[in-house]
Amino acid sequence: MKLQDKVAIVTGSGRGLGRSIALLFGKEGANVVLAAHNRDQIEHVAQELKVLRKNAIAVQADVSDETQVNVLIQKTLEAYGTIDILVNNAGFRGPIAPTHKISLTEWEETLRVNLTTAFLCSKAVIPTMIEKKSGKIINIATTLTPRPNMTPYMVSKAGMNSLAKQLSRELKEFNIQVNAIHPGVMDTRMQEDIRKAGAKAIGTDMFDRLKEEGLLHSPDEPAKLVLFLASKTGDGITGEFLSFDDKEVKFLLSQG
Ligand SMILES: NC(=O)c1ccc[n+]([C@@H]2O[C@H](COP(=O)([O-])OP(=O)(O)OC[C@H]3O[C@@H](n4cnc5c(N)ncnc54)[C@H](OP(=O)(O)O)[C@@H]3O)[C@@H](O)[C@H]2O)c1
């Protein structure tokens, strides 16, 4: 198993990509810590893992709140004694509108939920990882292709790339690898929320067409890329941005 006895925190793991990552990590032997607002959803995922005789705990937390992040870390350490992997996955789409029509409140909320969460969770796990001279942090970003009318979301996700690069340099000497990924366009609640805004607001009917043509992929697929980076196969890769849509990345994953 690729993550035997590793301790992994996955934020936003009640549904969508976070759930897929948590289930895959658990199947690969990790002790998984699930965090999100929605208690029922994370407890359901923890139950799915327990049915498979895998270890998991669900910690209800808003990971944009430093106090709640610290409680999450404390509960992880109480349950499993260490932290090996952090996946900064929690996020939401933010407002869909031209930038000049977005309020400061919407802007700040989007950056807080999509980027400050990763800063807070990374800040909280780094001391443990430095002490053990090992660790993996994976930030879930998005495409590098500009998406008009989604500026706060796209800027926050560019920040996730930059944060990964910054941390990779700072933490290299401690054998901590930090990377960011684009998971591709997945069939999840967030995608549904984006389509609900309407093709006119988004400025493209691409997402409706991808859905109609069955071309949105399951989050189980990019979860394999996160596993690749979190496990030994990803050792030595740091400060990179890997896109699930990249053919070479798909080839790497096909090698097992
Ligand atoms: N779907 C796509 O096509 C796509 C494409 C590129 C990138 N991504 C990225 O992939 C990641 C997962 O997206 P998804 O499509 O799986 O979305 P999703 O189904 O909406 O899941 C998002 C998860 O984040 C949690 N969350 C949001 N704010 C949180 C907070 N403050 N504290 C704790 N948990 C929080 C949500 O749970 P609660 O509401 O219960 O907190 C939920 O579990 C996101 O970072 C997203 O930006 C998605």
Q: Is 159 touching ligand 1 by the criterion CB < 6 Å?
A: no
246-to-23, 180, 238 alpha-carbon distances in Å = 24, 14, 18
Q: Is 3 touching ligand 1 by the criterion CB < 6 Å?
A: no
Q: Is 37 touching ligand 1 by the criterion CB < 6 Å?
A: yes
Residue 81 carries which DSSP code? Answer: S
pLDDT digits (tens, 9 = 90+) for 219-235: 999 999 999 999 999 99
pLDDT digits (tens, 9 = 90+) for 54-79: 999 999 999 999 999 999 999 999 99
Q: Does the annotation mark 153 as catalytic?
A: yes
- Three-state SS for 14-49 is CCHHHHHHHHHHHHCCCEEEEEECCHHHHHHHHHHH
Tokens of 242: 């890997």
Q: Which of 119, 153, 207, 244 is catalytic?
A: 153
- The residue extents of the domains of the chain are 7-184+219-254
State residue 216's pLDDT score: 97
Interval between CA 254 and ligand 1 midpoint (Å): 26
pLDDT digits (tens, 9 = 90+) for 236-255: 999 999 999 999 999 999 98
Interval between CA 150 and ligand 1 midpoint (Å): 15
Q: 1.10.10.10, 3.40.710.10, 3.40.720.10, 3.40.50.720: which CATH number matches 7-184+219-254?
A: 3.40.50.720
